């Protein structure tokens, strides 16, 4: 991969509508946000990796653990806006927006996404993985379809593409018949600095508001978004059940590594 200055940013707000105070919830002995930071830091590709927050409590918890913090405005409407504010504090060529509620991330998720920037046409990069059969018709699992060169064509909560000839009802995707190439989007993004500034300055777009998917703002405004293959799936924590699943994964990893 070409030499770039790459900053990793983990937006972490304390308030959460679905799971209260989730970024500080302890999972397998560490706050959730610490697991995310450790994975990003371990990749060795980003310097610095900072937690972007408007919460003094989150900031204090991070500093206690040696995690760099960038304070951002409480008025930021999205994680991307927090990353944009960090870009005005920390100079870099590429900024990676890392979700603070993905504790099962590992260092291996970052190289395939960042390698896309060796291609000069790539302004924004993200990740996808083969969608588990049980999530194909789940609107909480965002699906993506891409061109042969990896450029994203569309993201949707719907089952895309629609397998017209193979579709026989709700169970078709679960029993392995018909189309099997559904891809699940993982919400990690990397932006060239100019693309980040342009994206964050744009108003929410019609499709973005319809699907409640921020990345559609990029596509509607002609900003190319390229998709790399992730090494595996992750567990995004939004509920107590998600938290328990993530804890089981992290404890099993610790057991296998002898920690």
The tens digit of pLDDT for each residue in 2-18 reads 688 999 999 998 877 67
Q: Please state, in angstroms and as integers, the Cα–Cα distance from residue 36 to each residue in 161, 171, 189, following that order.
A: 31, 35, 14
Q: With bands split at pLDDT 50, 70 and 90, how would you rate the model's confidence at 170?
A: very low
Q: Can you name the residues that pair with 146 across neighbouring β-strands? A: 152
Residue 123 DSSP class: S
Res 155 pLDDT > 90: yes
Dist CA 43 CA 228 (whole Å) = 16
Express each pLDDT in 217-246 by its tens digit. 999 999 999 999 999 999 999 889 999 999
Count, residues in the chain: 259
Third-level CATH fold of 1-105: Spore Coat Polysaccharide Biosynthesis Protein SpsA; Chain A (3.90.550)
In order, the DSSP letters of 144-201 are EEE-TTSBEEEEESS-SS--TTT--STTTTTTT-S----EEEEEEEEEEHHHHHHHHH
Q: How far is CA 133 from the centre of its chain?
A: 21
Domain 108-233, CATH: 3.90.550.10
Per-residue pLDDT, 254:
84
**Domain ranges for the chain:** 1-105, 108-233
- Whether 1-105 and 108-233 share one fold: the answer is yes
Per-residue pLDDT, 178:
65
The answer to whether the pTM exceeds 0.85 is yes
Q: What percent of the chain has pLDDT over 90?
A: 76
Q: What is the mean pLDDT of the chain?
A: 91
Dist CA 95 CA 83 (whole Å) = 7
Per-residue pLDDT, 113:
98
Express each pLDDT in 21-60 by its tens digit. 899 999 999 999 999 999 999 999 999 999 999 999 999 9
Per-residue pLDDT, 48:
96
Res 169 pLDDT > 50: no
């Amino acid at each position: 991969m070409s030499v770039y200055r790459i900053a990793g940013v983990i937006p972490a707000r304390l308030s959460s509508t679905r799971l209260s105070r989730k970024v500080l919830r302890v999972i397998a002995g560490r706050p959730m946000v610490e697991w995310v930071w450790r994975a990003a830091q371990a990749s060795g590709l980003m310097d610095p990796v900072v937690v972007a927050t408007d919460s003094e409590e989150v900031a204090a918890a991070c500093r206690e653990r040696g995690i760099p913090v960038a304070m951002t405005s409480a008025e930021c409407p999205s994680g991307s806006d927090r990353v944009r504010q960090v870009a005005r504090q920390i100079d870099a060529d590429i900024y990676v927006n890392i979700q603070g509620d993905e504790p099962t991330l590992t260092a291996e998720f970052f190289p395939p996404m960042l390698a896309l920037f060796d291609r000069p046409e790539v302004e924004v990069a993200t990740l996808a993985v083969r969608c588990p059969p049980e999530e194909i018709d789940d609107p909480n699992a965002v699906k993506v379809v891409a061109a042969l060169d990896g450029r994203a064509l569309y993201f949707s909560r719907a089952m895309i593409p629609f397998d017209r000839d193979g579709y026989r009802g709700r169970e078709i995707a679960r029993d392995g018949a018909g189309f099997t190439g559904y891809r699940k989007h993982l919400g990690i993004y990397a932006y060239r600095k100019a693309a980040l500034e342009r994206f964050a300055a744009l108003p929410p777009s019609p499709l973005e508001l319809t699907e409640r998917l921020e990345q559609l703002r990029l596509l509607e405004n002609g900003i190319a978004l390229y998709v790399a293959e992730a090494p595996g799936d992750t567990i995004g924590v939004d509920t107590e059940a998600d938290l328990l699943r993530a804890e089981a994964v992290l404890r099993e990893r610790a057991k296998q590594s002898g920690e």
